């Protein structure tokens, strides 16, 4: 067995005399084609993360699950994902594994497809867990190849991250009508986006993987890993994840109980939450190009405190507005988490990607059963109120973060960001 190639930093991936100089393998040539295609793939996978909260009202209605049982389904999608995601990140730090992207995409869709026909809680839980495993396997390798295509641009990385948020936003639009028409027995139809995503992204994944493999051995970071800074960043991500996953799990039920409109009110609230995330992700890259990443991060989390408070505490149809505002504030720093993490750990790009991109959703699901239990013991409004404090904690922790020093490679210059945008 040959030794694995040394780990490299994607921002240093440049054409070298030893690399294949053809346009087919060059990220310079592939950039504008690769980023939209990688965003489509990201949308496909995160669509299935968005489907899970869409399933909750139907599981409550058809199978009479309580808050705890329903939040346990969300836990199934996130617990195993949280555990295995660092493992997948470590593997992609050592080897280029492009085949993992289509395999994981298919797994994410297959798990959702099997959840409806499953006729018991344990089988439903296992099906959702399979989907979560697919999501966990997807993010480290996909984010690594996306960073190759983005060439250090925050704006370009923002478009890649936007793909995931669009997938989230499309989940209630696509899944809810299908489930409303056919019930939980209609979930096999939801496998189709995964198959389409695999077909659309296959060629660009091969192209980026060839370039990454050709240049990996020549790309050696000069800066050591900054684990203390990465740990603080991870704490920020955990706070954000609990807030967003908690809201995405329960905001539909919250809207149904506090607004007229029943299921429609819940679907609109969920769409506002997810669509706001798409807006925030696009803004994040552009604001970072102007203010810097850490300053943008701090300001976004500061804005999330009053927005979340308005969503939870102020009654009436303004809930939709506050849902969108909260999501915008929480998603402005989303792609910045990824590039900051990769720069804090230049020798562990896969690990950093798995934590900052994958765990951004999955770790929050671990806390949802506690939110559900508190809701059953009191009210859903009381259960969601602690999320306001978590937004404030994320802002406080974000104040301890600094821009990584002496970033190698071309870096995300304003010129690069402008050309990518």
Under 8 Å between Cβ of 73 and 369: no
- For residue 292 the two structure tokens come to 């810097």
Q: How far is CA 336 from CA 10, 97, 159, 331, 355, in A?
A: 16, 24, 12, 9, 13
Residue with tokens 């939870």: 312
d(CA 202, CA 270): 31
pTM above 0.85, yes or no: no
Residue 325 contacts residue 275 (beta carbons within 8 Å)? no
The reported pLDDT for the residue numbered 358 is 65
The arrangement of secondary structure in 33-420, i.e. its CATH architecture, is Up-down Bundle (1.20)
Mark the ranges of the chain whose per-residue pLDDT is less than 50. 1-30, 406-421
pLDDT in tens, 128-183: 999 999 988 898 888 888 877 877 677 777 788 888 878 877 888 899 899 989 88
How far CA 131 is from CA of 114, 178, 286, 305, in Å, comes to: 9, 19, 32, 32
pLDDT tens readout for residues 401-412: 998 874 444 344
pLDDT score, position 16: 36
Q: What is the C-alpha R_g of the chain?
A: 20
pLDDT of the residue at 23 = 38
Q: In the chain, what is the straight-line distance between the N-terminal and C-terminal CA atoms, in Å? A: 43
Domains in the chain: boundaries: 33-420
């Amino acid at each position: 067995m040959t030794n694995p190639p040394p780990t490299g930093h994607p921002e240093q991936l440049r054409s070298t005399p030893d690399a294949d100089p053809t346009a087919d393998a060059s990220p310079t040539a592939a950039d504008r084609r690769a980023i939209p295609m990688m965003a489509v793939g990201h949308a496909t996978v995160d669509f299935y993360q968005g489907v899970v909260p869409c399933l909750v009202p139907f599981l409550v209605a058809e199978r009479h699950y309580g808050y705890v049982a329903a939040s346990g389904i969300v836990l199934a999608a996130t617990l195993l994902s949280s555990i295995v995601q660092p493992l997948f990140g470590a593997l992609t730090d050592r080897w280029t594994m492009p085949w993992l992207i289509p395999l994981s995409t298919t797994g994410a869709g297959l798990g959702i497809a099997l959840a409806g026909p499953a006729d018991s809680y344990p089988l439903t839980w296992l099906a959702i867990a399979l989907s979560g495993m697919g999501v966990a396997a997807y993010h480290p390798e996909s984010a690594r190849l996306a960073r190759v295509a983005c060439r250090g641009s925050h704006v370009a990385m923002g478009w890649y991250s936007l793909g995931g948020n669009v997938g989230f936003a499309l989940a209630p639009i696509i899944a809810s009508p299908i489930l409303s028409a056919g019930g939980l027995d209609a979930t096999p139809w939801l496998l189709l986006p995964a198959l389409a995503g695999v077909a659309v992204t296959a060629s660009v994944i091969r192209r980026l993987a060839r370039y990454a493999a050709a240049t990996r051995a020549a790309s050696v970071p000069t800066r050591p890993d900054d684990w203390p800074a990465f740990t603080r960043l991870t704490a920020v991500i955990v706070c954000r994840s609990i807030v967003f996953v908690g809201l995405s799990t329960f905001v539909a039920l919250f809207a149904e109980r506090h607004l007229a409109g029943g299921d429609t009110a819940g679907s609109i609230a969920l769409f506002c939450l997810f669509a706001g995330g798409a807006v925030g992700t696009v803004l994040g890259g552009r604001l970072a190009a102007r203010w810097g990443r850490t300053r943008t991060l701090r300001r976004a989390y500061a804005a999330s405190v009053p927005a979340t408070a308005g969503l939870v505490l102020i009654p009436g149809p303004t809930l939709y507005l506050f849902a969108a505002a909260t999501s915008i504030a929480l998603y402005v720093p989303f792609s910045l988490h990824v590039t900051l993490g990769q720069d804090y750990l230049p020798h562990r790009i896969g690990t950093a990607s798995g934590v900052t991109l994958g765990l951004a959703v999955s770790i929050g699901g671990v806390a949802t059963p506690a939110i559900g239990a508190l809701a059953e013991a009191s009210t859903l409004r009381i259960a969601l109120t602690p999320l306001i404090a978590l937004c404030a904690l994320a802002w406080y922790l974000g104040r301890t973060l600094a821009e990584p020093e002496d970033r190698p490679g071309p870096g995300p210059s304003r010129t690069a960001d402008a050309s990518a945008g």
